[in-house]
Structure formats: structure tokens, C-alpha cells
């Protein structure tokens, strides 16, 4: 019974505050719900106010605690303001899940400059912007956990996804650099790299490539576990990286892709 109690404490996030970007849908939404189930209070960041408020209501209706903050994570001022509001409302930040992401399925010569900037800003620059305001609060409170969303295409290249691959490669190595710099403050920084996961982002890829969605999803399932991922697959991994079960894990890059990079 004692061992079970200790395990429950390792899994529980009670008393902690988690900030999640891209929280209105897909992996972000699933992770917000999962961390709330583990008793964390969750701060939901997204530009989609309607869906973000819906996730907030879902969590609060189920007995959790959530607030929604509209935030363009590519804006320095909006990231600074969001962190200030979260600290004012919750008093602390223990977990940061940098999850917001976009993709443009184009080769380098097909991309225009605006598309390149959009993908790099949302997927990579946003990690820098939000983390730089969160880390001092984590350090003041004695530590925390930062999880960055990467991709299998941060570990190897992919066709017609030049900007996305660049941003994901940057995310992987930025994670390592952050882990080195902030370990002294007991801040752990890790990267979860999903494979193709059943989210609006994945569905948008089929449209961008002009492919029939069902065929595209079937091809995406061609991996050892013979299925695409579900948002909860990633959410469960974030729960592990956020809490006490991973207390000596930092600077890691964890592929959660059904064996796709194997």
C-alpha cells in the first residue's frame, strides 16, 4: 500500500500549474485534459478563442481547474503578457508544454518568405519567447519541467516540408541547449517527437498536398504498429515528462511514433 501511495504521488501533479500552447485542439487539447486529470491547474494558450474557451469549460465542468488566455506565441509582447496574467491568476508555473505548431508542405523553392517565417516563428521562435518569461518563475520556485513538441522530421528529413524540418531540427537541439543551461535551476527540458497523429494539422497536410484524406491517412499508418497516433498517445508521454516519474530525465528527445523512425 505504501508503494502504491508513493507511485500515486509520482504521477500526481496536484498543486502544480501547467501552461500549454496550441491548447485549443489536437495534442494540446488532449494534454490539457490529461494533466488536469492528474490534478494540475492548466493555463490554455491559443489564438482560437472559441475552441480554447470550450476546452476550458470542458475541464472545469469535469472538476478540474483551467483558464484560457488568447496568445499569439510569435509575439514577444503577448507571450510576456500571458505569463504575467498566469502568474497573477495562479501564482506559479511548474510545467510548460511548448506545443503550438504549423506546417507548410512545400520544398524550399516552393516556399515564399512569409511561409518560411510563419513556420519558423510558430514552431521554433515561440519556444524561445515563452520560455524566456517562464524560466525565471520556475527557477524562483525551485524548478520545473519544460516539454517541447518536435517531430520525427526533427530527427530525419521529409519530402516537401523544408521549413517544418528546419523548425523541428532546431527544436530538438534547442531542447538540449536549454537542458544544459537550466539544469542548475532544477529545470528539466525534454522534447517529445510525435509521428503522424490524428489532428487537424495532419488533416491539413493532405489538403496542402492535394491528396485524398483517407488514402493519405492510410499511408501515414505504414509503420511497425500499423496505425497513426492519437492525441492521447502524446498526452500520456507529456504527463510522464512533466512529473516525478521522469525526475532524472532532461535533454532527452523521445520519439512517440509507433516505430516510424525505427
For residues 212 and 10, is the Cβ–Cβ distance under 8 A? no
Report long-range pairs for 152-159 (Cβ below 8 Å, ≥24 apart): 152/193, 152/194, 152/195, 152/255, 152/257, 152/260, 152/261, 154/191, 154/193, 154/253, 155/193, 155/253, 155/255, 155/261, 156/261, 159/107
Torsion of CA 16, 238, 72, 161, to 10 degrees: 170
CATH number of 2-195+231-254: 3.40.50.720
**Set 69, 128, 133, 164: catalytic member:** 164
> What number is the average pLDDT over the span 36-47?
98
Q: How far is CA 16 from CA 114, 132, 182, 200, in A?
A: 38, 19, 19, 29
Output the CA–CA distances (angstroms, integers) from residue 210 to 62, 112, 137, 213, in the order listed.
39, 19, 45, 9
109, 131, 130: which is closest to 185 by C-alpha?
131
Kindly tell me if the per-residue pLDDT of 171 is higher than 80: yes
Burial per residue of 221-248, b for 16 or more beta-carbon CB atoms within 10 angstroms, e otherwise: bebeeebbbebebbbebbbbbbbeebee
> What pLDDT does residue 3 have?
59
What's the rounded Cα separation, in Å, for the pair 199 and 101? 11
Residues 107-124 pLDDT 10s:
999 999 999 999 999 999
Beta bridge partners of 37: none
Query: How many Cβ atoms sit within 10 Å of the Cβ of residue 207?
Result: 11
Q: What per-residue confidence (pLDDT) applies to 1? A: 41
Cα 120-147-161 angle, rounded to 5 deg: 30
Active site residue 128: no
Whether the predicted pLDDT of 82 surpasses 90: yes
Among the listed residues 57, 34, 77, the one whose alpha carbon sits nearest the alpha carbon of residue 236: 34
Residue 98 has what pLDDT? 99
C-alpha cell at 194: 510525435
Kindly list the domain boundaries of the chain, sorted by start residue: 2-195+231-254
Residue 32 confidence (pLDDT) above 50: yes
Residue 2 has pLDDT above 90, yes or no: no
Strand 95-98 to 187-194 pairing: unpaired
Give residue-wise pLDDT tens across range 231-256. Answer: 999 999 999 999 999 999 999 999 99
What pTM was estimated for this model as a whole? Answer: 0.97
Neighbours of 107 (CB within 10 A): 11
A 10 A CB-CB count for 216 gives 17
The x, y and z cell numbers of residue 73, run together, are 506565441
Amino acid at each position: 500500500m505504501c508503494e502504491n501511495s508513493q507511485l500515486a504521488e509520482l504521477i500526481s501533479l496536484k498543486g502544480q500549474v501547467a501552461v500549454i500552447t496550441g491548447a485549443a485542439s489536437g495534442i494540446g487539447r488532449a494534454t490539457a485534459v490529461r494533466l488536469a486529470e492528474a490534478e494540475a491547474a492548466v493555463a490554455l494558450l491559443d489564438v482560437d478563442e472559441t475552441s480554447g474557451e470550450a476546452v476550458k469549460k470542458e475541464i472545469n465542468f469535469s472538476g478540474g481547474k483551467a483558464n484560457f488566455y488568447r496568445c499569439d506565441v510569435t509575439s514577444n509582447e503577448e507571450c510576456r503578457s500571458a505569463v504575467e496574467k498566469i502568474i497573477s491568476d495562479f501564482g506559479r508555473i511548474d510545467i510548460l508544454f511548448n506545443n503550438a505548431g504549423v506546417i507548410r508542405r512545400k520544398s524550399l523553392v516552393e516556399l515564399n518568405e512569409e511561409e518560411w517565417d510563419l513556420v519558423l516563428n510558430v514552431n521554433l521562435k515561440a519556444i524561445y519567447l515563452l520560455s524566456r518569461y517562464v524560466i525565471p518563475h520556475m527557477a524562483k520556485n525551485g524548478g520545473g519541467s519544460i516539454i517541447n513538441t518536435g517531430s520525427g522530421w526533427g530527427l530525419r528529413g521529409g519530402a516537401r516540408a523544408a521549413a517544418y524540418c528546419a523548425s523541428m531540427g532546431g527544436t530538438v537541439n534547442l531542447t538540449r541547449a536549454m537542458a544544459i543551461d537550466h539544469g542548475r535551476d532544477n529545470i528539466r527540458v525534454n522534447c517529445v517527437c510525435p509521428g503522424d497523429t490524428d489532428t487537424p494539422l495532419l488533416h491539413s497536410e493532405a489538403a496542402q498536398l492535394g491528396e485524398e484524406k483517407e488514402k493519405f491517412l492510410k499511408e501515414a499508418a505504414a509503420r511497425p504498429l500499423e496505425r497513426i497516433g492519437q492525441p492521447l498517445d502524446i498526452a500520456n508521454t507529456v504527463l510522464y515528462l512533466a512529473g516525478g516519474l521522469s525526475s532524472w530525465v532532461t535533454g532527452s528527445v523521445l520519439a512517440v511514433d509507433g516505430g516510424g523512425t525505427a
